[in-house]
């Protein structure tokens, strides 16, 4: 069963009674209840939302990724369960002891899958993709030739219509705002699955930054990014220059965890596919396989 993504953008009081999350909506006085076990992602996007410690504890016990947003409505913080798997200590050890050659091979697979999915999205948008298809086949161990960067230059130059004069920058002009929001949701989904699989989201296979608590999430989400890009392409196609973040766009981006993707020849909601990806990564660290499962964009 796919877990629910809940978004709160108005003043509310969140508490718990009998394994239920109770939502008291301040403006209308309405009260709603949601089983905590059904929640996968909870986003709090208003400065007047209050949540009780008891509810936070139950959400984390159920491996819910809890996201907070700032006054500009961008996700800025995430809470995750510290004890997400019964064999966590064993899996931590396997992750820590993973060899450099294995990590380089895993990064090669990751970059190849990302570039291939980028190529498929370009094809879907009727944009020439031969360069990216060629790059995806020739990625070396550890991506020593930086094909990821080469692909990105071509991809971002051509993905969006020329009238946007788009440059991919975190603080850049729209649709960077939509990409950032979508990637934040994706990152939370991936981090949640990493914890559920018994790994540390801090220890990446490629990304290394002493100030980044989610290096592994940033690694594993790479081949999934084009699915976010696809939603943003659809928004641009329907709205042109009018890309200020609003409720309608947020609703579309909040659908990311439920998107259909194809992984290992089967269709699956993205959130479930991510769980398969992280489970396969654990098997790689444990020496049971050397292939990580990633989705293939059609």
Going from N- to C-terminal start, the domains of the chain cover: 4-79, 88-285
Alpha carbon distance 44, 71 (integer Å): 11
The answer on whether 241 is annotated among ligand-binding residues is no
Sheet bearing 65-69, strands edge to edge: 4-8, 39-44, 65-69, 75-79
Contact 222, 260 (CB under 8 A): no
The CATH classification number of 4-79 equals: 3.100.10.20
Average the pLDDT over 65-80 and give the result: 86
* Rounded percentage of the chain residues whose pLDDT exceeds 90: 82
Topology alike, domains 4-79 and 88-285: no
Q: Using alpha carbons, select from 160, 158, 156, 159 the residue that is nearest to residue 170.
A: 156
The answer on whether 148 is annotated among ligand-binding residues is yes
Distances (CA, A) of 34 to 18, 24, 44, 98: 11, 12, 15, 40
CA 229 to chain centre: 12
Number of C-alpha atoms within 13 angstroms, CB side, residue 242? 4
Mind listing the pLDDT tens digit for each residue in 222-247? 999 999 999 999 999 999 999 998 88
Angle value at C-alpha 197, between 90 and 216, nearest 5 degrees: 95
For the entire predicted model, the pTM comes to 0.89
The answer on whether 73 is annotated among ligand-binding residues is no
Which tokens go with 81? 């369960």
Domain 88-285 = CATH 3.30.1280.10? no
Average the pLDDT over 8-12 and give the result: 94
Contact 197, 279 (CB under 8 A): yes
């Amino acid at each position: 069963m796919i877990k629910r993504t809940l978004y709160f953008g108005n003043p509310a009081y969140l508490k718990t009674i009998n394994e239920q999350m109770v939502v008291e909506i301040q403006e209308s006085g309405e009260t709603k209840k949601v089983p905590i076990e059904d929640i996968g992602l909870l986003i709090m996007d208003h400065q007047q939302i209050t949540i009780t410690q008891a509810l936070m504890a139950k959400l984390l016990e159920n491996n819910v990724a809890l996201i907070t947003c700032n006054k500009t409505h961008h996700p800025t913080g995430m809470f995750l369960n510290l004890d997400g798997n019964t064999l966590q200590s064993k899996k931590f050890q396997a992750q820590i002891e993973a060899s450099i050659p294995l990590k380089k091979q895993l990064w090669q697979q990751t970059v190849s899958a990302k570039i291939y999915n980028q190529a498929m999205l370009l094809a879907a948008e009727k944009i020439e993709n031969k360069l990216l298809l060629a790059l995806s086949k020739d990625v070396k161990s550890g991506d020593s030739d930086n094909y990821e960067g080469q692909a990105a230059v071509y991809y971002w130059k051509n993905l969006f219509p020329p009238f946007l004069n788009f440059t991919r920058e975190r603080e850049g002009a729209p649709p960077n705002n939509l990409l950032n929001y979508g990637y934040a949701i994706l990152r939370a989904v991936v981090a949640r699955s990493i914890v559920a699989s018994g790994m540390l989201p801090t220890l990446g296979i490629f990304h290394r930054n002493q100030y980044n608590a989610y290096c592994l999430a940033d690694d594993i989400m790479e081949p999934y990014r084009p699915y976010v890009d696809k939603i943003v392409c659809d928004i641009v196609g329907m709205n042109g220059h009018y890309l200020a973040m609003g409720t309608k766009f947020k609703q579309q981006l909040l659908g990311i965890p439920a998107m259909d993707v194809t992984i290992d020849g089967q269709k699956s909601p993205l959130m479930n596919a991510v769980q398969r990806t992280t489970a396969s990564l654990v098997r790689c660290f444990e020496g049971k396989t050397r292939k990580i499962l990633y989705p293939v964009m059609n």
